[in-house]
Amino acid sequence: MSDKDSETSEQQEADLSNSDVVTKYKAAADIANGALNEVVKAVKAGAKLGELCVLGDKIVLEAVAKVFKGKKIEKGLAFPTCVSPNSVAGHMSPTAEDEATVSEGDVIKIDLAAHIDGFIACVAHTVVVQSEPVKGTTADALEAAHTALEAALRLVRPGKKIADVAEPLNTIVEAYGCTLVEGVLSHQLKQFVVDGNKCILNRPNPEAKVEDAEFEENEVYALDILVSTGEGKPKITDEKQTTVYKRALDVEYRLKMAASRQVFSEINKNYPTMPFSTRVLDQRNCRLGLVECLNHGLLHPYPVMHERSGVAIVQLKSTVLLMANGSDKVTGMALQPHESEKSVEDEQVKGLLQQSLKSKKKPKKKSKAAKKPENGTTAEPAATEAAS
Q: Residue 289: which domain range? A: 243-302
Share of the chain above pLDDT 70, in %: 89
Give 373: exposed, middle or buried? Use CB within 10 Å, 0-12, 13-18, 19+.
Answer: exposed
> DSSP class of residue 193?
B
208 & 128 share domain: yes
200 & 254 share domain: no
Q: What is the pTM of this model?
A: 0.88
pLDDT band for position 80 (cuts 50, 70, 90): very high
Q: List, for residues 366-382, the tens digit of each pLDDT value.
A: 544 444 444 433 333 33
> DSSP class of residue 202?
S
Residues ≥6 apart with Cβ < 8 Å to 264: 255, 289, 293, 298
Q: Measured between alpha carbons, how far is 136 from 119 in angstroms, rounded to an integer?
A: 39
- Assign residue 166 the CATH number of its domain: 3.90.230.10
372 within some domain: no
Q: How far is CA 122 from the centre of its chain?
A: 3
164 & 41 share domain: yes
Q: What residues form DSSP beta bridges with 214?
A: 161
54 within some domain: yes
Write the single-letter amino acid at 82.
Answer: C
Task: Look at residue 80 and give its three-state secondary structure.
Answer: strand
Write the single-letter amino acid at 339.
Answer: E
What average pLDDT is seen over the chain? 90
Q: Is the pLDDT of residue 215 over 90?
A: yes
181 & 217 share domain: yes
Q: List, for residues 319-355, the tens digit of each pLDDT value.
A: 999 999 999 999 999 999 999 999 999 999 999 999 9
pLDDT at res. 361: 58
45 & 145 share domain: yes
382 within some domain: no
> Could you give the number of structural domains in the chain?
2
Q: Is the pLDDT of residue 362 over 60?
A: no
- Assign residue 283 the CATH number of its domain: 1.10.10.10
137 & 158 share domain: yes
pLDDT at res. 13: 67
Average pLDDT, integer, range 68-82: 93
Q: List, for residues 284-327, the tens digit of each pLDDT value.
A: 888 889 999 999 999 999 999 999 999 999 999 999 999 999 99
Q: Measured between alpha carbons, how far is 1 from 221 in angstroms, rounded to an integer?
A: 33
33 & 179 share domain: yes
CA R_g for the chain: 23
191 within some domain: yes
CB atoms within 10 A of CB 170: 16
148 & 249 share domain: no
Q: What residues form DSSP beta bridges with 228?
A: 179, 313
- B/e letters for 251-267, b = 16+ CB within 10 Å, e = fewer, are eeeebeeebbbbbbebb
51 & 200 share domain: yes
363 within some domain: no
321 & 289 share domain: no
153 & 254 share domain: no
311 & 285 share domain: no
* E strands, 86-181, in order: 107-116, 119-128, 179-180
Average pLDDT, integer, range 228-257: 94
